[in-house]
A and B are shown apart, each in its own frame.
Chain A
């Protein structure tokens, strides 16, 4: 087995550029791109069309040649690896599935295992396992043909297929771009659930900013072949590198910012003299979640609440006034606070699960 199949995989791009030859000369599609994808993380590549995001991704499994720079996986230059072996170690999902219409669903899922020479029975078993994982009961779907499935179902098969040989890395090229908005939401949620279970290193290309914020551990925003900003969703929201970033994130920015701001980030250290019976909220709650949570607490005669850290210790403190100010950027504070008074719930546990 090649080193690619190690349990975790780290992808590194260093000063990667891509030229396309055209009749009118060479076109620079990707310009000096460097970033790292941590093992087990989901990295979103996002940008307008022509930003080079797809080309950048396709250089990782060498569907595009690398003009300049280096891409390594677990320290190995991808150009030193056998291209067929490299691709079999990397799951690949594309828009509209790219399923083989002449293969049954089960055979589609088992393409890479078949290429790797697994015996028939094991391929079948693996296909059924994965169909169940992506929410397609094997009994009902395994022996159908792709044309007998809806777009969303085909996309699920596409995801199952990428997972078939249990590759450490998965590349996803606008995988949910061609399905209706409701199905897309559903698929995005399912991808989160599956990712929590399988913990793959994923590079995910999209032009949907909502999708990027929902799925990405990190977001690499590209424009005209260059990286504009590479950071966590919260970084992009709170410290946009340029007006372009702000513009690209768009009008829902402030609401999104709140959803990606966590209590732990806002809380100051616990001052002396704060009584123990004030509400305690988990630091991992986002600001809107905290607002909803506090609505269930009796906040009379209290000025603030405690915020617990990762280990569950209530080491942080935030006043209602501070929270209201932050929330006020997009939600009327009065509404939140009124409901807090209207529905006090003395039964609510003071310690929330972290």
Chain B
């Protein structure tokens, strides 16, 4: 019991405030010190809070930077992915392109194309017994005048070959001798015209087609063009072979699908210039301005001759110069050209000779008893000038050609008795004279502006074509008027209808009026 009391007393003593009461000064000192400590703690706390705020701010900044960095990283990754996909796509495209590279051929190693036409003609003659009936179909008829095949090959970028052939039914129907009767008082008097009055001859090409087959009519193939082109530069190209004479407008545009009219103009029909030449040609184009083109051609060939595509029968070579300027601006296109030609025509006969002495032994005084001699039977020189003009504006087209040919004989041949217009039957002493030929044609066409409604091209046209040659007589001329309509349902087909009035001297039959239709097809 006493121990309990003692312990209790010790606790009470221990916990009692007696020590505080015991020393008040010390208590005051401690209070002041505690106050300073609290202030210090408060200041430190404030400093810590400030530091904490600073740290938080830095943390926030760093956090923002991290987020931004993440976004940039994501963007970079997205971009990289996109680029990767694009690269893969491009690689695939390139693979395809490279694979196709071997399959693209821009050269035509061999092209075959051509054109043909079918023509219907009905002529009406002013005179019942017009002489023109011997030169034109006397009755209405269908004809196929052109069946041309082209073979074209582009060997390299600068080497090309072109071959144009013409298929024909000729010589079927060729009248090798046109019978000419001398009529007195309505009765034929045999022999009055000498050699002219012999029987009518015409080529018949019918032959048996072989055993157990039908008979056939053979035809012919003509070589229109065959040449090699070397084109190193636009301004300097070379052509060797047989080429179309580069004159005028229609000689080179010779296809019935291209020509406006049904028949060729007189400048071509009358051969004022050789249609083709065999030899060399240098040609090219220059462009002094965007709207201006200048073309030239220099020809050097065998010229005209009886067998000029086989060989030249004289040393003289024909030369020609072509120049043409084309101005284009907006809807206008104007072209002016000219071609000059000079050459000699020579025909001759070649003979083999054996030189003998009077006793018929070989005469070798000239080195050999065998020799040859060339006899010129016909020789003339010709100068030809051709000019052409073309003016196009929208669908209107005015164009024409003028040709002048001067022919001067060096060796006059006897006139061809087969086609001499006999006046008195005395032709033996007559020779073909020098002559001057002139031809002029002008055409005006209008391609109607129907493109809003149809692709069919409709082109009405009118034209005049005149020819005069003093080769025979002053009264030989031909004046032709054309009125026609071209319908082009596709780029490959042309349907032409045309009315033609030909005026000749009354001696030749006067007027001949014709209607013609033509279907021309290119393929």
Q: Decide whether A and B assemble into one complex.
A: no
